[in-house]
A and B are shown apart, each in its own frame.
Chain A
Amino acid sequence: MTKMTECKKLISLVSRNTKCYFKDKFTFFMSLLTPIILFVLFVTFLRNIYIESLEKAFSENNLTVNTKIINGCAGAWLMSSILSVSAVTVAFCSNTIMIDDKINSSVNDFRVSPVKGTTVSLAYFISNFLITFTVLITVMLIGHIYLACVGWYLTVADTFMILVDIICGILFGTLLAGVVESFISTQGGLSAVATLVSSMYGFICGAYMPISSFSKGLQNVLSLMPGIYSVGTMRNHYLNGYMQAFIEEMRANSVDENIINGVINGIRDSFDANLYSFGTKIPLGAMYGILLGACALLLVAYIAIVIIKNKKK
């Protein structure tokens, strides 16, 4: 009975946090800033750079492929960037309710109520997860309409795995935001962190420029950051269908298998579908392992922070 009541309290808190977020139009807009910036960058000049880069990869081998696949592939690369980076940046922005509650002393209202501190913290985490998921699914649907227009080559299995990648990415982003923002209790601190994350995370994870275009030293340093493996898994599932379409097109033109493998591997390397750490290629399974391992560590840190904060008054 008590557990049931605590569960209802949790649902009530999650509902309140979510409503608060969506009622605040400014915060909602700020959360969408990263996807919007990436989209504008893509439309204005990144799209042409990626399309030229893909065309060059084929023309260097005297090959021609359907422009629809190339256009779609560039769009899919954009979608993988937007979704994997937004999983973190949106999570950081939408977690503002936790800090606003500290600033407005709403947190005292929870402390004087017979609700456990752990329930309040769990509610922040769940609501942040749900908000980020809602925003990302919306962005994904819009993006998929775009892909359907320019060239849809995603398989059902890859589409399903993209959903799994979104969930993993959000889990990572939400836990990271929960841990980092636990230490923030001022509006200034929140703005600083949100701005820093929104502007830096995209670069660090190769959303604007592929990591493969960075220096080897920087690539090795970045390979130590678990966030890039969220980008890696997403890139794989967004690009798989397009790579398969390229292969089939080249096979139909009787291109040598070695050349096909060389071209596809070259594209996968330069578009970050293949990720390397100190020269070693990281398999897809290992990417999930690293990402979920990081989530586990962040979860332990988050629980520790919640327990310590609840004890300290």
Chain B
Amino acid sequence: MIIEIENLKKSFKDVKAVDEISFNVREGELFAFLGVNGAGKSTTINIISGILAKDGGTVKICGNNIETDADRIKSEIGIVFQDSVLDKKMSAYDNLKSRAGLYGIFGKAFKARLEELTALLDLKDILKRPVNKLSGGQKRRIDIARALFHNPKVLILDEPTTGLDPKTRITVWSVVEKLRKEQGLTVFLTTHYMEEAATADYVVILDGGKKVAEGTPHDLKTAYASDFIKLYKHIDEAEKYFAALGLNVKRERDFVEIELNSTAQVGQFFADKPEFFEDFEVLKGNMDNVFLKVTGKDLKEV
């Protein structure tokens, strides 16, 4: 395990921001921390990266304890903050140079690493430009380059796509995917975008500072999310029929959606009421349903 967290605790006065959470991250995986604002995601990241001190529990990164080997841990992790910390008036090159300096990377070593990252993240055309003249996606690429300059084993992304337009989000994700494939990097992601969490290898859902569920997206969907059928014909009759069976039925303008207790029910309903199934689709439960089930909160509404 590259990250081992046990019974981590952190309070701010009376508020328990992180309440005895434990989890492990395997080397090379994309690990997602899912939760609404205030769930404890950023606090946990801030403890892991050494910005905040913990109140209790243990944190180990690459086998190093955060209390005794903080500097070694800092060399093993790179972090992309939710809000860019680049110096906006300075060029991308100057930003990378000053950040590399913090890790003791100067001269030839700086030039060599800059060349690698320029090729990897396609930075050539933007290096000389001031950061405040770059687009959101270009800034994020520089943010990622900054976080990777010292060759960390773990890349922490704190809500990296929040506030970005859909096109830029896709750009950022393609960069992250490339890094995982080409560099074998462990990526620790916090997000409140379900589609991002759904692509992760392992997901931990936080709510009110507590861990409320964990597993692979498939495991979580199997455990917490129901399947649905959508019927597009005879929707009035279908609505009444399935409601009478005590199922959760949602009526929309041109279809009715029925939440199933098990996928096997589809076959039974199809046999009993084939006329309803002239036009239909079966939907697998998604991470939105998982999140709603385990936290009682709809991420689209909070």
A13 contacts B90, C-beta separation under 8 Å: no
Ordered nearest first, which 7 A-B pairs have the shortest CB separation? Answer: A12-B101, A16-B98, A113-B102, A23-B89, A313-B53, A109-B85, A112-B49
Taking a contact as CB atoms under 8 Å apart, the answer to whether B99 and A109 are in contact is yes
The reply to whether A106 and B102 contact each other, CB–CB distance below 8 Å, is no
Q: Does B81 contact A (CB under 8 A)?
A: yes
Q: Name A's interface SS.
A: helix
A251 within 8 A of B: no
Report the minimum CB–CB distance from A312 to chain B (whole Å): 9
- Chain A residues, Cβ within 8 Å of B101: 8-9, 11-13, 15-16
Contact partners of A24 in chain B: CB under 8 A: 89
**How far in angstroms is the closest Cβ of chain A from B95?**
9
18 example contacts (A-B, Cβ-Cβ < 8 A) are as follows A9-B102, A12-B102, A13-B98, A13-B101, A15-B98, A16-B94, A16-B98, A19-B90, A20-B89, A104-B85, A105-B83, A109-B102, A110-B102, A113-B103, A114-B71, A114-B102, A114-B103, A313-B51
Pairwise interchain contact B51-A12, C-beta atoms closer than 8 A:
no
Interface flags for A1-33 (1: CB within 8 Å of B; 0: not) read 000010011011101100110011000000000
Nearest CB on A from B74, distance (A) = 4
8 Å CB contact of B81 from A11, A19, A20, A108: A108
- Give the nearest-CB partner of A6 in chain B: B104
Q: What 0/1 readout, one digit per residue, does chain A (250-289) give for beta carbons within 8 Å of chain B? A: 0000000000000000000000000000000000000000
Residue of A nearest to B53 (CB): A313
Complex Cα spacing A115 to B90, Å: 21
Residues of B within 8 A of A216 (CB): none
Within 8 A of A (CB), among B96-120: 97-99, 101-104, 106
* Chain B stretch 56-99: residues in CB contact (< 8 A) with chain A: 71, 74-75, 77, 79, 81, 83, 85, 87, 89-90, 94, 97-99
Q: Given A12-B98, A12-B102, A19-B90, are A113 and B74 also a contact pair (CB < 8 Å)?
A: yes
Residue B50 CB within 8 A of the other chain: yes
Contact A108 B51 (CB under 8 A): yes
Contact of B52 with A by CB under 8 A = yes
CA distance A106 to B102 in the complex (A): 13
Tell me, yes or no, whether A309 is within 8 Å of chain B by CB: no
Q: Is A68 close to B, CB under 8 A?
A: no
A56: interface (CB < 8 Å): no
* Most chain B CB inside 10 Å of its own CB: which residue of A5, A19, A106, A113: A113
Which residue of chain A has its CB nearest to the CB of B72?
A: A114
Complex CA–CA separation, A13 to B94 (angstroms): 11
A interface residue numbers (CB < 8 A to B):
5, 8-9, 11-13, 15-16, 19-20, 23-24, 104-106, 108-115, 313
Q: How far is the CA of A111 from the CA of B73 in the complex (A)?
A: 12
Contact surface of B with A, Cβ cutoff 8 Å: 46, 49-53, 71, 74-75, 77, 79, 81, 83, 85, 87, 89-90, 94, 97-99, 101-104, 106, 130
Q: A111-B50, A112-B79, A115-B102 are in contact. List 16 more A-B contacts (CB 8 A).
A: A11-B101, A13-B101, A13-B102, A15-B101, A16-B87, A16-B98, A19-B94, A20-B87, A20-B89, A105-B81, A108-B51, A109-B99, A112-B74, A112-B77, A113-B74, A114-B103
Q: Return chain B residues, CB-CB under 8 Å to A313.
A: 51-53
In the complex, the answer to whether A23 meets B77 with C-beta atoms within 8 Å is no
Instruction: Report which of A11, A110, A114 forms a contact with B75, defined as CB distance below 8 A.
Output: A114
- Please give the distance in Å from A131's CB to the nearest CB on chain B: 15
Question: Is the CB–CB distance between B50 and A112 below 8 Å?
Answer: yes
| Residue in B closest to A1 when the chains form the complex, CB atoms | B104
Q: Which of B49, B74, B90, B98 has the most CB of A within 10 A?
A: B98
* A19 proximity list for chain B (CB < 8 A): 90, 94, 98
The complex places the Cα of A24 from the Cα of B104 at a distance, in Å, of 27
> Given A9-B104, A16-B98, A16-B101, are A112 and B75 also a contact pair (CB < 8 Å)?
no
Q: Which residue of B lies closest to A100 (CB)?
A: B87
Q: Judging by beta carbons under 8 Å apart, are A8 and B106 in contact?
A: yes
Which B residues lie within 8 Å of A114 (CB)? Answer: 71, 74-75, 102-104
For A106, list chain B residues within 8 Å (CB).
85, 87
Contact A12–B81 (Cβ < 8 Å): no
* In-complex Cβ contact of A108 among B85, B89, B103 (8 A): B85
- Smallest CB separation, A78 vs chain B (Å): 33
Closest beta carbon of chain A to B56's beta carbon, Å: 14
Q: In the bound complex, do residue A111 and residue B89 qualify as a contact, i.e. CB atoms below 8 Å apart?
A: no
CA separation between A5 and B71, bound complex, in Å? Answer: 14
Could you say which residues of chain B place their CB within 8 Å of the CB of A16?
Answer: 87, 90, 94, 98, 101
In the bound complex, CA of A104 to CA of B130 (Å): 17
With A19-B90, A23-B90, A24-B89: A109-B74 Cβ-Cβ less than 8 Å:
no
Which residue of chain B has the shortest Cβ distance to A24 in the bound complex? B89
| Nearest A-chain residue to B83, judged by Cβ | A105
CB neighbours (8 Å) of B79 from chain A are: 112
Closest to B77 in A: A112
Beta-carbon nearest neighbor of B49 in chain A: A112
B51 touches A112 (CB 8 A): yes
Chain B proximity of A97: nearest CB distance (Å): 9
* B86 nearest CB across to chain A (Å): 8
List, in ascending order, chain B residues with CB within 8 A of A104's CB.
83, 85
Residues of B within 8 A of A115 (CB): 102
